Structure 1
Amino acid sequence: MIQLFNWRTGLAIVAIAIVSGTIFYSQFLARKIAKEERLRVEQWVEAGKLLMIDQTGVSDKLAGIIISENKTIPIIVTDERGEILDHVNLDSASVRNDSGYVARKMKEFKAENPSVEWNNPSDSTERNIYYYGHTSLLNQVKYYPLVQLLIISLFIIITITALSSRYQSVQNQVWAGMAKETAHQLGTPLSSLHGWVEMLKDNPDNEMMVQEMSKDVERLRLVSDRFGKIGSTPQLESHDILSQVNSMVEYIRKRAPGKVKFSVDSHGSNVLIARISPPLFD
């Protein structure tokens, strides 16, 4: 039992260490990815601003590359009144089939990340607000520890169950071995008792006593046989259950106090055949 407890303690410590380390490192990566994503959104906004204010066209190629490179971060653009102006990297099918999809995503983005604002240098009253959400990579990094925790928990449960089953199996084998040894040790005195009973039969005056002693010796032999069968598959045979029960009741009736009454209700049946193991049934 102590060894099993140590196994459980060791598994728990290892699991806690793995999960704690994974959660810490995953959160570190998540914060790092979130910072990089915000930087990319800010660059994306600045690139769009550059396309609007640069009349020479010198920066068009660079700004176009920055804007086109964003294929993962979902962004929704609104004006200062909250009217949706544009969006990128959203599910096109949902946008097309669900008129409220973009509004719901914008509300979700507001809760996930602080917005990025852009003020038009040519018109101070014009202001665009950019809401962006998490990429699939960031979501995977954030939820990975939960998946790992579930897997480790299942592993621990399966391992502990296997160890418990093994321990129980070993314990059962020990009990079965002790029972078989007990049955073996009972064999010698039972043989001796059986011999003494046979000697008592030579005296006719001992007939009634010998009859009951024979039943007791047979009962002890039955108990010994039961001990010997522990751990083995019972061998079922067709027997009359009523006969078995009546025999047991008759044996106990003569040895029970006189105030105890026994009765067997067979519901009108004289014979009831069933497959049983007689040594275990009695």
Structure 2
Amino acid sequence: MFNFRFTGRNIFILGTLLFLISSAFFSHYLSGKLAATEKQKVEIWANAQKFLSTANAGDQNGLDLAILISTSNTDIPIIETNEKDIPSGMTRNLDSVRLKKDPQYLNKELAKFRHENEPIIVKLSGNSILENRYYYGSSSLQITLQYFPLIQFVIVGLFCIMFLIIQKTKTKNEQNLLWIGMAKETAHQLGTPLSSLEGWLEILKLHAENETYIPEIKRDLERLQLVSDRFGKIGSSPKLELKDINLQIDNMVNYIRKRAAGKIAIHFSCKPDTILASISPPLFDWVIENLLKNALDAMDGKGNIEVQSFLQNHHIIIEVKDSGKGIAPANIGKVFLPGFTTKKRGWGFGLALTKRIIEEYHHGKIIVKDSEVGRGTTFRIQLPIS
């Protein structure tokens, strides 16, 4: 069932459609009125031609009026034929250059005029079968009026495209501001309990019986500080450092490997052994972590995750391939959209943040290289070589 919502964009589109439809109908109405007026002008002009061919020399006033009417038509193209529909050679407002150079020009115009309008027939005498037929076409004003709705449609269409682009940019900017605000607020909120935890950790160190679990608490605290640091960098220009990305990836693979449950094997291969790139280490680590966690979530406690890095066509390529559930074809184009997720738990921000970090901060690209339901997914990152 059709469900129309009165949003600003929908109202704008509906108003534009109504304007175009009403404009087209009004232009058609004016075109019809102008066509009737032009037909009347041609009839008057044709009768003036008859008068000029039959009038007495003494009727000077009538001749002057007929000449005035005959010469006043400077816009409507006319071709005169005889009763056998053969052109007599008398024309009005045709292209004189083409008339001389193109032998078929007159016949083509005559065929077009026959299709457009019925001829004006003028009997040369009351009882004679002799007659002149005047075929006429559209004036330049009539042609302009016929194409006016199309011109309007093109102009309004371009305006609508610009409006939609501006709206989309505005919406994206608002979303970006919301993301930045959420990220910085999260970092701010984490700051206070982290400072408190650091103080408590120092107190725990004073007692020897706590030595066994202090290292684990310290690692988790450092992890929380890293998360806070990552969120704090969203929205600002991070400092890029020349790093060996293979080393960064290997550290994250080892970190995730220790926390992978079930029978999940994670392999990392690289060629060459050292690949230097300008990256923000905390944010780049976040990207690899998100992709690895996403791969883990796609598998039911068993399978393989293969990570590899290599050089190709003057770019650094990083691929994360899993043997998990795969992505349905209808969802491949949505995986990087904020809020999209097929999981029962999760906000759907991980891959969206990953895309933002790679494209906006590292000037690279990230895509779903391939995915097949039931067989797994491969994500590919492309970074510029430093």
Question: One fold, TM greater than 0.5?
Answer: yes
The CA deviation at 1:77 is 0.9
The structure-2 alpha-carbon separation of the partners of 1:201 and 1:263, relative to structure 1 and needing over 3 Å to count, comes to farther
Q: What residue is the counterpart of 1:218 in the other structure? A: 222
Structure 1 residues 1-282: aligned runs within 5 Å:
6-58=7-59, 59-85=62-88, 86-121=90-125, 124-202=128-206, 209-257=213-261, 259-267=263-271, 269=273, 271-282=274-285
The structure-2 alpha-carbon separation of the partners of 1:252 and 1:201, relative to structure 1 and needing over 3 Å to count, comes to farther
Tell me which protein shows more helix as a share of its residues. 1
User: Distance in 1 between the 2:228 and 2:160 partners?
Assistant: 42
Q: Percent identity?
A: 42
User: Distance in 2 between the 1:208 and 1:5 partners?
Assistant: 63
Cα distance per residue 1:138-184 (max 9 Å; x no partner): 11122212211221222223223312321331232122112111111
Give the SS at the match of 2:33.
Answer: helix
Larger radius of gyration: 1
Moved over 6 A (4+): none
User: Distance in 2 between the 1:40 and 1:167 partners?
Assistant: 57
Deviates more, 1:17-26 or 1:220-229: 17-26
Cα distance per residue 1:162-219 (max 9 Å; x no partner): 1232133123212211211111111122223333444444566765643343332222
User: Distance in 2 between the 1:213 and 1:92 partners?
Assistant: 96
The CA deviation at 1:10 is 2.7
User: Distance in 1 between the 2:275 and 2:54 partners?
Assistant: 103
Amino acid at match of 2:27: S
User: Distance in 1 between the 2:205 and 2:280 partners?
Assistant: 31
The total of aligned residue pairs comes to 278
Cα distance per residue 1:82-127 (max 9 Å; x no partner): 2111211101111122111111111111121111112221662322
Q: RMSD between aligned alpha carbons?
A: 2.3
The structure-2 alpha-carbon separation of the partners of 1:113 and 1:258, relative to structure 1 and needing over 3 Å to count, comes to closer
The structure-2 alpha-carbon separation of the partners of 1:19 and 1:48, relative to structure 1 and needing over 3 Å to count, comes to same
The CA deviation at 1:131 is 0.5
- Structure-2-length-normalised TM-score: 0.66
Cα distance per residue 1:59-82 (max 9 Å; x no partner): 222111111111111001112222
User: Distance in 2 between the 1:268 and 1:149 partners?
Assistant: 57
User: Distance in 2 between the 1:204 and 1:246 partners?
Assistant: 34
Structure 1, gaps ≥5 residues long: none
Structure 2, gaps ≥5 residues long: 286-386
User: Distance in 1 between the 2:126 and 2:165 partners?
Assistant: 71
Which structure's relative contact order is higher, taking Cα pairs within 8 Å and 6+ residues apart?
A: 1
The CA deviation at 1:26 is 2.2
Tell me which protein shows more strand as a share of its residues. 2
Give the SS at the match of 2:79.
Answer: strand
User: Distance in 2 between the 1:268 and 1:200 partners?
Assistant: 45
The structure-2 alpha-carbon separation of the partners of 1:104 and 1:236, relative to structure 1 and needing over 3 Å to count, comes to same
Amino acid at match of 1:168: K
Deviates more, 1:69-78 or 1:185-194: 185-194
Give the SS at the match of 2:85.
Answer: coil
The CA deviation at 1:268 is 5.2
The structure-2 alpha-carbon separation of the partners of 1:143 and 1:182, relative to structure 1 and needing over 3 Å to count, comes to same
- Structure-1-length-normalised TM-score: 0.88
